[in-house]
Amino acid sequence: MDWHSFSAEKTAQLLKSDINRGLSDSEAKKRIEKNGANELQGRKKISVIKRFFEQFKDFCVIILFIACIISFATGIIEGKGDFVEPVVILIIVVLNAVIGVIQEQKAEKAIEALKKMSAPTACVIRGGKTKNIPASSLVDGDIICLESGDMVPADARLISSNSLRVQESSLTGESVPCAKDASATLDASCSLGDRKNMIYSSTTVMAGNCTAIVTETGMNTKVGRIAGLLAEENAPQTPLQQRLGKVGKALGIGAVAICAVVFLLGIIRQSGILPSFMLAVSLAVAAIPEGLPAVVTVVLSMGVQRLAKSNAIIRFLPAVETLGAATVICSDKTGTLTQNKMTVTKICSYSGEIKPDSPTAKKILLYASLCSNAKEIKKGKKTEFSGDPTETAILSAAKLQNINFSSEEYVRHYENPFSGERKRMSVICSENGSKLLLVKGAPDVILPRCIKFLSSGGVMPLTANRRSGILRLNEEMAGNALRVIAVAYRPAQSINDSEEDNLIFAGLIGMTDPPRPEAAKAVSVCKKAGIIPVMITGDHIRTACAIAEALGIADKTTTAVTGAQLDRLSDSELAEKIGSCRVFARVTPEHKVRIVKAFRARGETVAMTGDGVNDAPALKAADIGCAMGKSGTDVAKNAADMILTDDNFATIVKAVEQGRGIYDNIKKAVHFLLGTNIGEILAVFFASVLGFSNPLLPIQLLWVNLVTDSLPAIALGTEKTEKDIMLRSPVPASKGFFSDGLWLDITLEGAFVGALTLLAHSIGNLVFGGVGGTMAFCTLSFCEIAHAINTRSSGSVFRAGFFSNRMMNIAVVICVILQTAVICIPQLSALFGTVPLNLPQWLTVIALSSMPLIIGEAGKLLSGRKSKYN
């Protein structure tokens, strides 16, 4: 219900409560039994065990299970009892399931953080008596009393207020506390940030006091609706998960089809059921890249470590790669693009802007500082200010000019505090034995009370023309999204001479929450990288547009939209219009989620940055959510995929660069692994079709897939990020691994490896007599090492630096040693079905194995193709 559109009396009538006496204890008990406690509820909790087993529905996990079962079957049928490989595969399956469970628990953590924000106790009037009760016992219709420093325990309509100001930045995005007015009756369509007669759960009273009637509790409050959104919103699959899912399905279907064909061929040729089955098992093992999930996990983990050194903590591994695919970054304004700290940026006299160190400017700052209640706090050598952000900004500016505004020098005798109704504050202070009445407040309120103005030549009469000039100056400053404060004064005859009239206009102070110094550069880099930066804020549209234009987010070709305008657009209309929108102002949490989903409906990969409670649902709905570590709420952190520990928007640019490099490296690893798997498949398949003996045993294929495949693939994940990576366009989520002809490359390379393996098998049997299986096994393993080196760069690997990847050098040495051990050590030789090779046989294997690198380098030199990894 639109409680802000009703008077306090009408609200009490609708809620069947008494404004003066509140509810009776018996009535409150009935209501809490009917509506439940004033607490935030999440989804019905699912047990960890049930969550764990739900992870095994994934198609890729099913493929891994098939590989595990096949590996167990191979060990049992061959009677060798070697179950090392299936145990490794099983560990991979369990690890993937654990990662899935962690992701699903993020929403519950966000709910728990919201619960911690709820006020533990509340001051309530029941039956005419004031008492403190647990905040969870509040019901609609209760009368609550609040004062400065209290956290609001429920949504409520103000009954009375005295100079009340409430900090709602975590809910609305506004950095300045909102002045409240109990007497205001507003239009039903009024936006959340403008509802001056309402207070909301989990916000904080910064100044003043009030009484209010509770209108909503628990999940019906604004913060409760955010909790509901978090519980309902499912995090989308990352582009990496989608692509690997497609690869897994294709491999699985292909493996089943080829195995069926080979098994039928064996039966038709009367090769026997068991031999035909073993050959089909060999093909299935060859088709499934058992090491792929482990390789991807390790590569992503290394990326996480690199990002942590750059002040970005990744909470969900695939999020690293998603950053590189981001096409839109939706950023909250307050605290993310700006400093969340009001700062004086302009001081004006009657004639225009003046330097802050000029005598007139110093006088304006002094009088404004004396007419403030902010406090100076010294922490060692460092000085900080606490209180209202507007006043702390004034005191900070005065301190920069070495202005002494201490209470010892200037004694305050009287104060008429600021209120939303008066829009001004006044004090009487002593200065050099004389008394001054000092006033600061809204220019449109202060200026009509002035009859003179301060100039460099002294005090002059304030004519109509001068008054008009000052008003134009105020409008110009407000048009530049500055919060403008007018300062005036006059001599006071005594401490009782407090009438705020016949004043002398001193000047105007303009302040704003300034952009972070590094934000403009970060926005520029994003745009060069083909990423669209978008500002989403609960602040006023004029302020939002000014900041967006200063940062380069918006220009004359783009549009700005308010929350009210969003409400008039359907989801399809929003998705159509959103392409030109760069600024969204006065928006609610529901709006933010709609915006993110509208971008995603256009095929965009969306990153959302933010720090407030109001950002949490959109952080979770986005492809990747980035929360601020210092100023961010626990709710935002727990809903996000990544936390920026330095609260620096520019850190996300570094993360995007790392993400793109990681995507490149994962793509290289997939390229390498699938190329070698195709080689294995074709070698076994064509040996069957041509009537050859099986060139590779299942255990040999498992060895290749888990050892001589995986180690070089992991090394590919450590390749350095290419220098021009942030000048490329983002990779669309719909773009597969195999676009731009990469699939053809993989097929041809795989066919070449398979042909070399069959050639080694034939030479071993026909030329050297009876060592074809061992030579094929060695040739396949060493071909894959050469292929890994070839895959390091789309250009010449010698130009990139043949030994520049230290991890690849180590992987090559380890693989060569292990493969040689399998052949030369009798116990291992017996396990893997190999025989020792002599020097001519080893030289033949080396010659054949080096061909992928030689042919690959020649092909790169002749084609001069662009990278397949962008």
Task: Please identify every residue annotated as catalytic.
Answer: 332
Radius of gyration of the CA atoms of the chain, in A:
35
CA-nearest of 695, 680, 708, 710 to 255 is: 680
> How far is CA 796 from its chain centroid?
37
Name the nearest CA neighbour of 869 among 664, 730, 657, 731.
664
Residue 755 has which token pair?
């042909």
The backbone region for 433, taken as left when phi is positive above 0, alpha when psi lies in -120 to 50, beta otherwise, is left
Distance, in Å, from the CA atom of 182 to the CA atom of 856, rounded to the nearest integer, reads 77
Spatial separation of the C-alpha atoms in residues 275 and 263, rounded to whole Å: 9
- What are the phi and psi torsion angles at 402 (to 5°)? 60, 35
Tokens found for residue 776: 């094929």
Query: CB under 8 Å, gap of 24 or more: what pairs does 654-657 form?
Result: 654/307, 654/310, 654/312, 655/307, 655/310, 655/312, 655/323, 655/626, 656/323, 656/324, 656/326, 656/526, 656/529, 656/531, 656/607, 656/726, 657/721, 657/725, 657/726
CB within 8 Å of 490: residues ≥ 6 apart: 436, 437, 502, 503, 504
Q: At 548, which amino acid appears?
A: A
Residue 101 burial class via C-beta count within 10 angstroms: exposed 0-12, middle 13-18, buried 19 and up: middle
Q: Report how far residue 624's alpha carbon sits from residue 21's, in angstroms, rounded to the nearest whole number.
A: 50
Q: What DSSP assignment string belongs to 393-438?
A: HHHHHHHHTT----TTTS-EEEEE---TTT-EEEEEEEETTEEEEE
CA 809/CA 782 separation, integer angstroms: 14
Per the CB < 8 A criterion, the answer to whether 531 and 656 are in contact is yes
Please state the φ and ψ torsions of residue 597, each to the nearest 5 degrees: -65, -35
DSSP 3-state percent helix, strand, coil across the chain (nearest 5): 50, 20, 30
Q: What is the token pair recorded at 868? A: 């397949």
Q: How many CB atoms lie within 10 A of CB 49?
A: 9
Q: Phi/psi of residue 489, each to 5°?
A: -160, 170
How far is Cα of residue 554 from the mean position of the Cα atoms in its chain? 21
Dist. CA 569–CA 573, nearest whole Å: 6
Question: Could you tell me the two tokens for 558?
Answer: 């783009």
For residues 576 and 448, give the distance between their C-alpha atoms in angstroms, rounded to a whole number. Answer: 48
3 state SS for 330-351: EEEHHHHHECCCCEEEEEEECC
Which of these, 141, 142, 99, lies nearest to 122 by C-alpha position?
A: 142
In this structure, the strands spanning 450-455 and 642-644 are unpaired
- Provide the greatest CA pair distance for the chain: 119
Nearest-angstrom CA–CA distance, 332 and 640? 14
Closest to 264 in 3D by CA, of 282, 252, 276: 276
